[in-house]
Amino acid sequence: MGDVGYQSIGYPNLALAIGFVVLAVVLARVERLGLEKALVIGSIRACVQLMAMGFVLVLVFEMDRWYHVVPVVILMVLVGARSAYQRVERKPPGLQAVMTGSIAVAVLAVMGPVVTVVLRLEQWYQPQYLIPISGMIIGNATTGCAVAADRLLAELTLRRDEVEAMLCLGASWRQAARASVRAALRAGWMPTINAITVYGIVQLPGMMTGQVIGGVAPVEAVKYQVLIAYMLVGAVAISSYLTVRLACSQAFTKAHQFAKWVHRGRPQETAVR
Amino acid sequence: MAAFDIRSVTKWRFVPSGDGGTRRVLALSGVSLEVPERSIMAVVGPSGSGKSTLLRLLNRLEEPDEGTIGFAGVPLRELDVLELRRRVGLVQQQPAMFAGSVADNVAYGPALRGEWSATDLDRVGALLDTVGLPRDFAPREAQQLSGGERQRVAIARALANDPEALLLDEPTSALDPGAARHVLEAIRRVSEVAGVTAVVVSHTLAHARAVAQWAAILVGGQLVEHGPADQSLAAPQSPQARAFIEQAAEAGAEAEHDG
Ligand SMILES: Nc1ncnc2c1ncn2[C@@H]1O[C@H](COP(=O)(O)OP(=O)(O)OP(=O)(O)O)[C@@H](O)[C@H]1O
Ligand SMILES: [Mg+2]
């Protein structure tokens, strides 16, 4: 893409941008925000991590065997699921496996048709397409799953009396948990819906910006971005749906009772009397 | 024949301990008790003595750690749990109202099974009559009712399932004396007319005496007394039961002076 005439940045010029960070550090110092250290560490990490990723990408983009590319995607799914898992405050048993499975299914379900039918790549595993697009999908699915699982537990805890009242009247756990599941799914989907809603107005999404800077015709870049917006919606919907369904089934027993772990350690009204 | 046959039931509870961990407490300890069919049994005892826990075991909201419970001659574990909960209603201590109208709440159980719905105002109205609420409550927003009104909607909601047994956790605690009398009257009526077995947890000895033929006294998770209500609540045999009854009687007398 280099021949399309993007402006290359020299390292000394890049170093000038450190000035912005310095400005923020000075402001933080003056206003006593206590953020100087976080700013410095964050800036260094961003630089080091991106450079490292750059080298990895050079290697990855040279891959021309599916059995080299696919493990990279699998690794990305595992890392994404791990970070989703860590963001959940109260974890149902097996949540990490549930999230890994949910995100993997979402990636397959969304990438499969796109690679074979929409993009019609010469080689379906072309890393220049597969890796960045999977990355965006996994990133959004990760957030969706984490938010949804977190919300599910919060709702079930908050609505404990209501859920038990329904169970007492003969409702199955699925029926009794319906309102909580709904709230969890809404919470999980909302960030992605909100994000794509302002695409092109407030936000120029990263990939499109990148392609345009890289010299791709804006119309082509836009088509990619629309494709990706729709893929994100699908991936978030699938992954958080699976995560919520499976996590919810962990919150109840076969006898339509709350599983013990749901309320263990929760401050008890009756206990403190 | 016994409606409920409770044999050597033990239930542990995990409560947060000060240091951030959890501590085991014995909520029920070797409780054996038979609740005769078509009768009303009062369960009394100090706060934390395991009364609510016992009710939660009777409709399988929870499982006992040891011991067995039978309903109408069949072990609970052998019954379909959803069917069991239709046959054995539980009205909780502070019942949660579902979003929607009073009629939606009352018809919740039958609507689940596709029997009848909130639009069947005759059925809803008849159930409101039973618990002493005016029929024009049917369209009101259930979550905006007072504590006493909720309690009665919850009882109507449980009765809508046409249960064989009703477990009531402090059904009169949120009610003024007039409303309490009404609810006790309703419990007695469904017991007599519909042959429903009732297990009523109560803090107020007078209410327990007024409504129950049988009584059980729990202290610290142990069944310390059970038998005919007039004997067990008036002149219990065991020293723990006697101590509790004396205390409760004093507290009751004070409450009457206050109000
Ligand atoms: N959900 C719970 N988790 C942990 N411990 C509990 C829970 N519910 C009750 N306990 C504990 O179990 C014991 C029995 O409680 P239970 O609610 O059955 O008492 P109770 O007789 O109904 O009291 P009250 O008259 O105050 O309603 C108490 O020690 C209580 O602290
Ligand atoms: Mg209680």
Predicted complex ipTM: 0.94
Mean pLDDT of B104-119: 96
Nearest CA to ligand 1 atom 9: A270
pLDDT of residue A76 exceeding 90: yes
Q: Are residues A168 and A72 in the same domain?
A: yes
Mean pLDDT of A179-188: 97
Q: pLDDT band for position B18 (50/70/90)?
A: confident
Give the number of the atom of ligand 1 that is nearest the alpha carbon of residue A272. 31
Q: pLDDT band for position B102 (50/70/90)?
A: very high
So what's the pLDDT on residue A273? 31
Helices (H), A159-217: 160-168, 173-176, 178-197, 206-213
| CATH code of the domain covering residue B122 | 3.40.50.300
Q: pLDDT band for position B152 (50/70/90)?
A: very high
Q: Considering the domain boundaries, does residue A51 fall inside one?
A: yes
pLDDT of residue B164 exceeding 80: yes
Counting the structural domains of chain A, the total is 2
Contact: A165, B96; criterion CB under 8 Å: yes
Instruction: Categorise residue B41: left if φ over 0, alpha if ψ from -120 to 50, beta otherwise.
Output: beta
Q: CA separation (Å) from B42 to A269, B172, B209, B253?
A: 23, 12, 8, 20
Mean pLDDT of A106-123: 89
pLDDT of residue A1 exceeding 50: no
What phi, psi does B184 have (nearest 5°)? -60, -40
What would the pLDDT profile of B49-62 be if each residue is shown by its tens digit?
A: 999 999 999 999 99
When scoring B14, B24, B79, B150 by the number of chain A Cβ atoms within 10 A, the one with the most, hence best to mutate, is B14
Instruction: Categorise residue B114: left if φ over 0, alpha if ψ from -120 to 50, beta otherwise.
Output: left
Q: Are residues A111 and A194 in the same domain?
A: yes
Q: Are residues A155 and A180 in the same domain?
A: yes
Residue-number span of the structural domain to which A20 is assigned: 7-63
Q: Are residues A207 and A187 in the same domain?
A: yes
Q: What own/partner pairs with CB < 8 Å and gap ≥ 24 does A67-71 have?
A: A69/A125, A69/A127, A69/A130, A69/A131, A70/A125
What would the pLDDT profile of A80-114 be if each residue is shown by its tens digit?
A: 999 999 989 888 999 999 999 999 999 999 999 98
Q: Considering the domain boundaries, does residue A1 fall inside one?
A: no
Q: Considering the domain boundaries, does residue A269 fall inside one?
A: no
Q: Are residues A245 and A218 in the same domain?
A: yes
So what's the pLDDT on residue A126? 87
Output A19 or B22, whichever has higher pLDDT: A19
Residue-number span of the structural domain to which B18 is assigned: 2-258
pLDDT of residue A223 exceeding 70: yes
Mean pLDDT of B168-195: 89
Q: Considering the domain boundaries, does residue A270 fall inside one?
A: no
Spatial neighbors of B169 by CB under 8 A, at least 6 apart, are B51, B52, B55, B90, B91, B92, B93, B201
**DSSP, residue by residue, B66-94:** EEEEEETTEEGGGS-HHHHHHHEEEE-SS
Spatial neighbors of B94 by CB under 8 A, at least 6 apart, are A161, B147, B150, B174
Q: Are residues A147 and A196 in the same domain?
A: yes
Q: Are residues A162 and A234 in the same domain?
A: yes
Q: Are residues A75 and A186 in the same domain?
A: yes
Mean pLDDT is lowest, of A200-209, B171-180, B196-205, for A200-209
Residue with tokens 């890393």: A127
Counting the structural domains of chain B, the total is 1
Q: Are residues A115 and A50 in the same domain?
A: no
Q: Are residues A107 and A185 in the same domain?
A: yes
So what's the pLDDT on residue B255? 65
Q: Are residues A87 and A33 in the same domain?
A: no
Q: Which residues from chain B sit within 8 angstroms of residue A171, using beta carbons?
A: 82, 108, 112
A170 shares contact with chain B (CB less than 8 Å): yes
Mean pLDDT of A169-198: 95
Rounded Cα–Cα distance for residues A216 and B45 (Å): 78
Q: Are residues A34 and A137 in the same domain?
A: no
So what's the pLDDT on residue A5? 61
Residues in chain B whose Cβ is within 8 Å of chain A: 13-16, 22, 47-48, 52, 59-63, 81-83, 85-86, 89-92, 94-96, 98-99, 108-109, 112-113, 154, 157-158, 161
